[in-house]
Amino acid sequence: MSFSHLGLSEKVLAAVAATGYTTPTPIQEQAIPHVLARKDVLGIAQTGTGKTAAFVLPMLTILEKGRARARMPRTLILEPTRELAAQVKENFDRYGAGQKLNVALLIGGVSFGDQDAKLTRGVDVLIATPGRLLDHTERGGLLLTGVELLVIDEADRMLDMGFIPDIERICKLVPFTRQTLFFTATMPPEIRRITEAFLHNPQKVEVSKPATTAVTVTQSQVPAGREAHEKRELLRRLLREAKDLKNAIIFCNRKREVAIVHKSLQKHGFSVGALHGDMDQPARMAALEQFRKGELPLLVASDVAARGLDIPEVSHVFNFDVPHHPDDYVHRVGRTGRAGRTGTAISMVTPLDQKSMAAIEKLIGQSIPRAEGDYEVRSEGDESTERPREARGGRERSRGGRGRSQRGQDRERSQESRERGHEPRERTREPREQRSHEPREQRSQEARERSHEPRHASDGRKASRPQADTSRVPSIGRPEPRRSQRPVDTEPGDHSHLPAFLLRPVRTPAGA
Ligand code: AMP
């Protein structure tokens, strides 16, 4: 099967050929003819299946006829996150290069004024996150009564993020007669309900969900100590020792952890970017772009920020934290080993993660072997030494530190989802939370790393008593050598032991 049999226009076929794609993916093969026949489509497919082009290509063909009117977009695409919205726009830019189409992005973090000016000129394709779209309709700057085609992408993700009421409101603002394309990776009851309410006689197209991880990915787990500093040491060791590492995404469960790990790696000389919900839009896009281009070979990311990102050819995925939801594991690991390429996924597993690992292994239907090498955790299971440390972490627990219960972490996770789900409010609320948590933790974190303290707890009290801890045995069996053994490892500033491409570029004065 080739693209030329699907009914796409000559211009679109030329654009597809220019990208080098010769064969449509199963979702493209099935969905494109229905979209061109102006039928509603219910697509059950995940990212990585080529589903973006499955709606972008026929939309470009449809949009060749007709013109946009001021403030009345012709088509509307709803995406759960800013990054996904930006990625869809990139698809339009790539495949629609030969067409004079106005494509606008309505996402948080970009000025209302600029967006408004673009809407006034008239747009053919409006790509939006639900919160920002409703802000514009409520201000009266946008009319959805001209929308001929509506795409709801990653619907189950929208559900996770609390967007469904917004989607329902938006569906009432677009004409009843529009065509609707609805994509979801799973069909929980709430999603089934809205497909029944908003799709008319839909054509169902389904591509087999990668219920498991690709066979080309080598997965392994490495035992890790509970303490954050132990995990960071272990991560550095894994990065140094990784075979064939070209680029990697390092996943953390919480955005605060993303910031800490990012800073720590930077301090140890790694060339690394970060992607989390607290970063403003330009910073996120810049980090992603640098990673895509290979300027930053490492990216520390949270699930919310990284879901669905189109990042081809990632050689390694590291789970700095084991995800609480097994689906997230599949998504994370799906960043590597794509399209038949080989990949490596390494999970750092603390004693507290055993339950989550068991759930992951059950979902993917295979056990994840321990990595080869000496990765013993000496304190593993030694409750008599671990408990008092946890008990002392009372203050840290209340601040959301590592000693928290699984339920507490889940609560924070859904809190993050809620915040991301209501973008306009996110910016007024999150900075307050950041002020109250991050700088304090990060400051003490930084201070510990700078002074090479034993770093056994991340609360201020422990860090202020470094002498008491120096005799403790590091909990990783073959720990990163201490300063006396190999000074370069813990000496920020001298990173000669890192592979060159992982090193942060040193800025030299102009003309030097
Ligand atoms: P998506 O599922 O839309 O996130 O796409 C996943 C990846 O597949 C992206 O990197 C696309 O550029 C790529 N892709 C989409 N369609 C094709 C195709 N027909 N052949 C090869 N790669 C494709």
370: domain CATH number is 3.40.50.300
- Give the whole-angstrom CA distance, residue 480 versus residue 497: 12
Assigned domain for 377 exists: yes
What sign does the CA torsion over 90, 91, 95, 100 have?
negative
Q: Are residues 201 and 234 in the same domain?
A: no
Distance of CA 163 to the CA centre of its chain: 18
- The answer to whether residues 128 and 271 belong to one domain is no
The total number of residues written for the chain in this structure: 512
Confidence band for 141, pLDDT divided at 50, 70 and 90:
confident
Question: Residue 427: its pLDDT value, please?
Answer: 31
Does residue 254 sit in the same domain as residue 278? Answer: yes
Residue 467 lies in a domain: no
Structure tokens at 92: 């339009």
Centroid of ligand 1 to alpha carbon of 50 (angstroms) = 4
In short, whether 312's Cβ falls inside 6 Å of ligand 1 is yes
Q: Are residues 134 and 35 in the same domain?
A: yes
DSSP secondary structure string for all residues of 282-300:
HHHHHHHHHHHHTSS-EEE
Q: Is the pLDDT of residue 30 over 70?
A: yes
pLDDT band at 326 (very low <50, low <70, confident <90, very high): confident
Residue 49 beta carbon below 6 angstroms from any ligand 1 atom: yes
48 lines ligand 1 (CB under 6 A): yes
Question: How far out from the chain centre does Cα 94 lie?
Answer: 22
Give Cα separations from 294 to 200, 289, 297, 315, 484 (angstroms).
44, 8, 5, 12, 34
In a domain, 340, yes or no: yes
Give Cα separations from 387 to 379, 384, 393, 397 (angstroms).
Answer: 11, 6, 10, 14
Under the banding of pLDDT at 50, 70 and 90, the label for residue 10 is very high
How many separate domains does the chain show? Answer: 2
- Are 331 and 307 in contact, with CB atoms under 8 Å apart? yes
From atom 12 of ligand 1, which residue's Cα is the shortest distance away?
50
Question: Do 132 and 44 belong to one domain?
Answer: yes
Q: Locate the ligand 1 atom nearest the alpha carbon of residue 21 and give its number.
A: 20
Give CA torsion, residues 478, 480, 483, 485, to 10 deg: 40
> Average pLDDT for residues 372-386, to the nearest whole number?
49
The pLDDT-based confidence of 425 (bands split at 50, 70, 90) is very low
Q: Angle at CA 460, nearest 5°, toward 455 and 463?
A: 30
Q: Determine the atom of ligand 1 nearest the C-alpha atom of 16.
A: 19
Let me know if residue 180 belongs to a domain.
yes
| Highest mean predicted confidence (pLDDT) among 47-51, 139-143, 232-236, 337-341 | 232-236
Report yes or no on 442 lying in a domain. no
Orientation angle between helical segments 255-267 and 423-450, nearest 10 degrees: 40
Pick from 55-69, 179-193, 267-281: least confident:
267-281
- Structural domain including 90 reads 3-206
| pLDDT tens per residue across span 198-253 | 999 999 998 865 445 666 788 999 999 888 889 999 999 999 998 889 999 999 99
The pLDDT assigned to 435 comes to 30
**One-character DSSP codes across 432-482:** HHHHHHHHHHHHHHHHHHHTT-----SSHHHHT-HHHHTTSPPSBSSPPPP
Strand-by-strand arrangement of the 316-319 sheet: 217-223, 343-349, 316-319, 248-252, 298-302, 272-275
Mean per-residue pLDDT of the chain: 75
Residue from 22, 127, 310 to probe ligand 1 pocket by mutation (most atoms less than 8 Å from CB): 310
Determine, yes or no, domain membership for 475. Answer: no
DSSP assigned state of 507: P
Compute φ and ψ for 206, nearest 5 degrees: -135, 130
Q: Closest Cα partner for 365 from 338, 329, 318, 410?
A: 329
Same domain, 247 and 202: no
Q: Report whether 222 contacts 371 (CB < 8 A).
A: yes
Phi then psi for 183, rounded to 5 degrees? -120, 135
Final residue belonging to a domain, choices 395, 424, 452 = 395
Residue 198, both tokens: 């908003």
Per-residue pLDDT of 498-510, as tens digits, reads 555 555 554 444 4
288 lines ligand 1 (CB under 6 A): no
Phi-psi region of 269 (alpha: psi -120 to 50; beta: other; left: phi over 0): left
Q: Do 120 and 17 fall within a single domain?
A: yes
90 CA to middle of ligand 1, Å? 13
Which of 172, 206, 240 corresponds to the end of one domain?
206
Substitution site in 13, 52, 314 for ligand 1 pocket (most atoms within 8 Å of beta carbon): 52
For the segment 17-32, the average pLDDT, to the nearest whole number, is: 91
